[in-house]
Amino acid sequence: MRQGLRDHAVKLPRVHRITRRGKIYRYHRVTRALLPDLPESHPAFIEAWAAQEALAPRPAKGAAATGTLAHAVQDTAGGHKFAGLSEGYRAMMRREFDAIRTDYGDLALAKIQTKHIRADLGKLAPVQSNKRLRAWRLVFSHSVTRGWIDVDPSVGIKKQAENTKDRAPWTEAEIEKFRKRWPIGTTARGCFELIWWAGCRVDDAATMAWAHVSPDGVLAFRQGKTGGMAYVPWTSPLPAWARGWEQARAEAITAVRAVAPGGFMMLGTRAGKARSGKGLSNLISIAAREAKIEGKTAHGLRAGRLTAIAEAGGSTQAIMSWGGHKTLREAEHYTATADRRRQVMGEEHLQNDVKLPAPACKTSKNA
């Protein structure tokens, strides 16, 4: 009975509920898709709801004239190829589409040349430039398929070399510095700890719900970017190579629970609404700068966790499971780094090395 009351109390946004002959049917209010006949707290229901959220069109900005770049952008976003991309990738491309349409939407599609695209990319930093280039390629590839243009002007434009420093793993000193500035009870600390412990991407952290924790204590979720499943020990026993991480994990859970007490989403707002991945990324970056930590991002927390697993002695398969990787090649980057460390360390030191990541997870006494 109590479980039923909890399920009934969970109400996701943009869900239209219709009662017929005592049975509740739930539809996504925007896409009108029928959602699973499950409690709204069930992981399968959340996954189906999140998929429809990603498909929901953005607010109309006025009809775009045929033959304009704005029209091509709109048509690309509504195409089957775009719908087949991962949720996270679609969200990223929509942001780039908005920027393209705002700046150049009234231009004639057929008159856009390679030099114009290069000029647009030249105004952006390497990471942002490469995201924008992907968006341009999607639009022009779609336009060629539709027969609106004969030649794709984005072909031949190379990606810029990215400075991967911003994606570097956080150091133990930086983690301690962040925790001293943001004690348990602050939103910044809770968001930080979920991403750090789970080793997840910001888009996945933003939609993480308590229902994703299974009865056996494993946090299991499907990644928006790759579609792969990630399995993180939340309250379940830790593997042997992670001994010494128990206290750090308990403190992380406490910090996360303080973000939205009693809420459905782990990192929801006080009003019960979900955060966006972009907003969560900005929150971590701003909080890091206020803690006098420069050049470190939320993505570096994911890299830090997976690196810590490798350095603690976790196998490539362990990294794949925790990080949600689909192939060995994706995970071997972290084990290769750890193996190089082991080549210059004696066996006695290697036994101690298993415990190295633990101090990085401890909460500061001043926090």
Domain check: are 215 and 350 in the same one? yes
Distance CA(276)–CA(265), nearest Å, equals 12
Residue 94: DSSP 8-state: H
Total of domains in the chain: 3
Phi and psi at residue 43, in whole multiples of 5°?
-55, -35
Contact indicator for 15, 35 with CB cutoff of 8 Å = yes
Domain span holding position 223:
165-361
Q: Determine which of 45-49, 57-61, 130-134, 147-151 has the lowest per-residue pLDDT on average.
A: 57-61
Torsion angle of alpha carbons 329, 357, 277, 10, nearest 10°? 110
Domain check: are 94 and 239 in the same one? no
Does some domain include residue 85? yes
CATH number at residue 171: 1.10.443.10
Domain check: are 49 and 74 in the same one? no
Distance CA(202)–CA(282), nearest Å, equals 10
Q: Is pLDDT above 50 for 6?
A: no
Domain check: are 171 and 144 in the same one? no
Kindly state the average pLDDT of the residues 79-105. Answer: 85
Domain check: are 183 and 148 in the same one? no
Domain check: are 252 and 237 in the same one? yes
Per-residue pLDDT reduced to its tens digit, 93-106: 998 999 898 888 88
pTM of the model: 0.58
State residue 61's pLDDT score: 53
Residue 322: both structure tokens together = 């925790």
Domain check: are 86 and 156 in the same one? yes
Question: Sign of torsion, CA 29 208 230 293?
Answer: positive
Task: Report the percent of the chain where pLDDT is more than 90.
Answer: 39
Does some domain include residue 62? no
Last residue of a domain, one of 136, 162, 188: 162
Last residue of a domain, one of 10, 26, 55: 55
Domain check: are 142 and 169 in the same one? no
3-class DSSP state of 34: strand
Residue 72: both structure tokens together = 């091509």
Domain check: are 156 and 260 in the same one? no
Domain check: are 298 and 204 in the same one? yes
Last residue of a domain, one of 162, 190, 220: 162
Domain check: are 143 and 190 in the same one? no
Q: Is pLDDT above 90 for 220?
A: yes
Residue 302: both structure tokens together = 């994911």
